[in-house]
Amino acid sequence: MKILAVDAGNTRIKWGLHDGHGWEARGSTDHGQRQSLLVAWSEIPAPELIVVSNVAGPETRAFLEGGFECWDAPRRWISSRVEQAGVQNGYSNPTQLGCDRWAALIAARRLSDGAVCLVVNAGTAVTVDALGRDGHFLGGLITPGPDLMKRALAGSTTALGLEPGVFQPFPTSTANAIESGTYQALGGAVDRMAELLRYRDASEPRCLLSGGAAAALRPHLRLSVQVVDNLVLEGLVIIAREPDPQ
């Protein structure tokens, strides 16, 4: 079965056409350039099922609905559940968990072979989610992503700007101090969660890292890291192959 998986995030819309064995086609675009999706989709084989994670709001949903009209394929707009595909949702209100994080957790469960793991998605925001070896989602962190963190700092101070900087262990310029502080803070958040998991489970967690800022963040993490191009899309395909609970 050909499945079109669509991940509509805060900044970008990512998509992929999966043929049951691998990705037949993939792409992404900023929301401001989303009309280009219609061109890209006109060049791919017709999907038999469409599955979508949307955290970008109702306007984006309406746009995507219009884009899907060219195909006679059922659509599944996912939401977080109490349990699905071997993952149990530990949120006090399971529906409050972002559907993109839910899909990423489901992909991580499959990819980690039952190991304790941290699921890190580094984009506009950075989420750091803890997944037990039994598939129980323990909880997670949300922090601003690197670009958002730097813009917030520049916008809230008069003396600091957004000049490009490089990472230094001991920064010797303001631009480098901002760049280094950003990645030290994000790396510290991931490492702290890893430490808590080690204490809880007496085992070394695996880290599955995804998102647009994954490559920049990876060098600042002190644990074993597996970079996955798009955990959300991988999770959407798994969800699509599960029975629809509705």
Please state the rounded mean pLDDT for residues 125-136. Answer: 95
| Closest C-alpha among 69, 63, 7 to residue 36 | 63
Q: Buried b vs exposed e over 58-94: b needs ≥16 C-beta within 10 Å?
A: eebeebbeebbeebeeeebebbbbeebbebbbbeeeb
Residue 161 pLDDT = 63
* Residue 244 within any structural domain of the chain: no
Same domain, 151 and 87: yes
Q: How confident is the model at residue 151 (pLDDT cuts 50, 70, 90)?
A: confident
30 is catalytic: no
Residue 246 has pLDDT above 70, yes or no: no
Query: Listing from the earlier edge strand, what are the strands of the sheet with 75-77?
Result: 23-30, 12-18, 3-8, 49-54, 75-77
Pair 32, 60 in one domain? yes
Q: Is residue 166 part of a domain?
A: yes
Determine, yes or no, domain membership for 241: no
pLDDT of residue 160: 65
Query: Could you say which of 100, 113, 201, 244 is catalytic?
Result: 100
Please state the rounded mean pLDDT for residues 140-146.
96
pLDDT of the residue at 73: 96
pLDDT in tens, 188-243: 999 999 999 999 887 899 999 999 999 999 999 999 899 999 999 999 999 999 87
Q: What is the pLDDT of residue 154?
A: 74
- 129: domain CATH number is 3.30.420.40
Same-domain pairing of 213 and 104:
yes
What percent of the chain lies above the pLDDT cut of 70? 97
- From 15, 43, 77, the end of a domain falls on 77
Give how many domains the chain has, as a whole number.
2
Q: Which of 56, 77, 98 is the last residue of a domain?
A: 77
With cut-offs at 50, 70 and 90, classify the pLDDT of residue 158.
low
pLDDT tens for each residue of 89-114: 999 999 999 999 999 999 999 999 88
pLDDT in tens, 37-79: 999 999 999 999 999 999 999 999 999 999 999 999 999 999 9
Confidence of residue 182 (pLDDT cuts 50, 70, 90): very high
Residue 222 lies in a domain: yes
State the pLDDT at residue 152: 85
Say whether both 62 and 91 belong to one domain: no
Tell whether the torsion through CA atoms of 135, 81, 191 and 169 is positive or negative: positive
Across all residues in the chain, what is the average pLDDT?
Answer: 93
Say if residue 70 is in the same domain as residue 115.
no
C-beta neighbour count of 189 within 10 angstroms: 16
Kindly state whether residues 40 and 65 are assigned to the same domain.
Answer: yes
Judge if 56 and 177 occupy the same domain: no
Confidence grade of residue 174 (pLDDT, cut at 50, 70, 90): confident
Residue 190 CA from chain centroid, whole number? 15
Residues 153 and 215 in one domain: yes
Asked if residue 193 lies in contact with residue 141, where contact means CB atoms within 8 angstroms, the answer is yes
- Within-domain flag for 245: no
102 with 36, same domain: the answer is: no
Distance CA 12, CA 214 (A): 15
How high is the pLDDT of residue 113? 86
| Domain of residue 12, residue span | 3-77
Q: Is 30 in the same domain as 134?
A: no
Q: Does residue 30 fall inside a structural domain?
A: yes
pLDDT value of position 203: 86
- Are residues 93 and 56 both part of a single domain? no
Q: What percent of the chain has pLDDT over 90?
A: 84
Select from 15, 48, 77 the last residue of a domain: 77
Angle ∠(245,6,96) on CA atoms, nearest 5: 55
Question: Residue 243 and residue 246: Cα distance in Å, rounded?
Answer: 9
What is the rounded CA–CA span in Å between residue 74 and residue 4? 11
Same domain, 45 and 152: no
Q: Is 242 within a domain?
A: no
Query: What is residue 202's predicted lDDT score, i.e. its pLDDT?
Result: 79
